[in-house]
Amino acid sequence: MSEEFQIIKIRKCDGSDKEIKALVDIQIGQVEILGVKIIELKGKTFCALPSENFYSQSAGKTLNRAIIHIEENLKSMIYAEILERWYHLEQLKFRIEGKSNSEEKS
């Protein structure tokens, strides 16, 4: 099943968690998913579905697991679209900041 999806909103994070750069809300059909994470770690940028921490007795430590599951092909398409939009927004931010700096110098 291939559902249409759309990105509703991208919210930059306040910086309290340095790895999470933004949260994204998406809509797939009639379902909204709030809080898909854009993460930057070790020079790589990727997405992660909303998740929760839980204590695993078998592992003896706290682990993280997704609380929403999406079919892999659809998830890949969603992540690609989110990252494309994120890179575009970051490029616009860079251009605006660069323009402001060059205008101040003149």
| Dihedral of alpha carbons 81, 85, 87, 88, sign | positive
Range of the domain at 41: 5-105
pTM score: 0.77
* 54, 65 contact by CB (below 8 A): yes
CA angle 90, 92, 96 (to 5 degrees): 120
CATH number of 13's domain: 3.30.1120.40
Number of domains in the chain: 1
pLDDT in tens, 36-91: 999 999 999 999 999 999 999 999 999 999 999 999 999 999 999 999 999 998 88
What are the pLDDT digits (tens) for 16-33?
778 999 999 999 999 999
